[in-house]
Structures are given as C-alpha cells and as structure tokens.
C-alpha cells in the first residue's frame, strides 16, 4: 500500500476494482481545509483517462504489473501469437485488444507484454518500427517543393504520408507514437 503523497508518474494503483497508471499528479495545499492530490489516471484495461482527486494521505493499493519481452510470431484467425524468448512459452491475444498496435506488428518484432497476474493488459511497442511500402501513389511531375509528400500503404495496412522519393518495395522507419514516416530503413 502507498499513500497518495507517494504518487509518482508511472506508478500503478488498484482503485475501486480497476487498475490505473498515474499520468499526472499535483499536491495542493489550499489556505483553508486539508491538502489534496489532483491526479490524472489511465485505466490499463480500457485505456480511458480519468481525473480523480484524493485527500492527502489516503492509502491505495499498489498494482504489481509485470512486463516481459516477447516476440510477435504470427496471426491465427482473430488471435495473435507471441512467444517469450527465454522460456519459449507462447500466449495468444485477441485482435480486439490490439486495435491501436496492429498497424505496427510485423513477424519477429520484439515487444513488451504488460500483465497483471494472469490478465494481459496490453503490449508496448518499440518507439520505431521498420515497415515495407507495398503501394504508393506516383508523385506529381515537377513538384519539387521541400515538403512534398504522397500517400503510401505498408505491408501491415498502415496508410501514411511519405516523401516523393519513396517507392514501392522500399523499407521505411515509422514512429509508433505518431504513426508518421521517420526515415528510410538501412
């Protein structure tokens, strides 16, 4: 157990039957009345963000979150299979739990699985991934402005804007945080 005075960004707590991660917090000591902690919490099951105010010193249960590195193997119907590279244990996650991450998953990609006990809460992707361009629109002839882009489709189904010099079959580096083109892959 920790008190609300011990809140730090990234701490996970169990509160009212849900598991939350502290995104932001602020200790407030008004002129009159008791101190309180204003916080922004992310529900690790649903991804929803809520604002919650606690009285200072209230005890809350810490949630022991396990993170383990795994490798994405393949898709089997509506499930995706991951393997722990140390124990060779395989787990399956339904694609409904991975909607935001699916456009970045490629076979052999190392990711972090986030678990609470035996419940899988989700995955953490690397900051950047390498994807292959499978379809791209032709650039307009004579368009030489410095930031000219065209739309491209990757092997995972992600649509994004890329510079005019990127062609089909090339590998590109994409930011998983923004979903935008970063550089050409080497």
What value does the mean pLDDT take over residues 64-83?
92
pLDDT at 139: 57
pLDDT over 60 at 140, yes or no: no
Pick the closest to residue 37 from 19, 51, 20 (CA basis): 51
Pick the closest to residue 43 from 63, 67, 66 (CA basis): 63
pLDDT over 70 at 27, yes or no: yes
The Cα–Cα gap between 174 and 158 comes to: 10
Identify the three-state secondary structure at position 101: coil
- Order of strands, sheet of 159-163, starting from the edge strand that comes earlier in the sequence: 159-163, 149-154, 128-136, 171-175, 181-184
Q: Which domains are assigned to the chain?
A: 2-62 (2.30.30.30), 65-124 (2.40.50.140), 128-184 (2.40.50.140)
78-103 residue pLDDT tens? 999 999 989 999 999 988 888 888 99
DSSP 5: G
- Order of strands, sheet of 90-94, starting from the edge strand that comes earlier in the sequence: 90-94, 79-84, 65-76, 110-116, 119-124
Residues 6+ apart with CB under 8 A from 151: 136, 137, 159, 160, 161, 162
pTM of the model: 0.74
């Amino acid at each position: 157990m920790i008190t609300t005075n011990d809140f730090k960004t990234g701490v996970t707590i169990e509160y009212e039957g849900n598991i939350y991660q502290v995104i932001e917090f602020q200790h407030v000591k008004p002129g009159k009345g008791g101190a309180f902690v204003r916080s922004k919490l992310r529900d690790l099951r649903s991804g929803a963000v809520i604002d919650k105010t606690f009285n200072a010193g209230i005890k809350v249960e810490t949630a022991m979150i396990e993170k383990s590195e795994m490798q994405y193997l393949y898709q089997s119907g509506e499930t995706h299979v991951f393997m722990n590279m140390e124990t060779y244990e395989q787990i399956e996650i339904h694609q409904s739990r991975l909607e935001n991450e699916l456009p970045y998953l490629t076979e052999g990609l190392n990711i972090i699985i986030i678990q609470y006990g035996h419940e899988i809460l989700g995955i953490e992707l690397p900051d950047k991934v390498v994807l292959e361009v499978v379809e791209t629109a032709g650039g307009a002839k004579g368009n030489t402005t410095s930031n000219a882009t065209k739309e491209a489709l990757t092997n995972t189904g992600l649509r994004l804007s890329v510079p005019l010099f990127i062609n089909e079959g090339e590998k590109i580096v994409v930011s998983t945080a923004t979903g935008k083109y970063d550089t050409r892959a080497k």
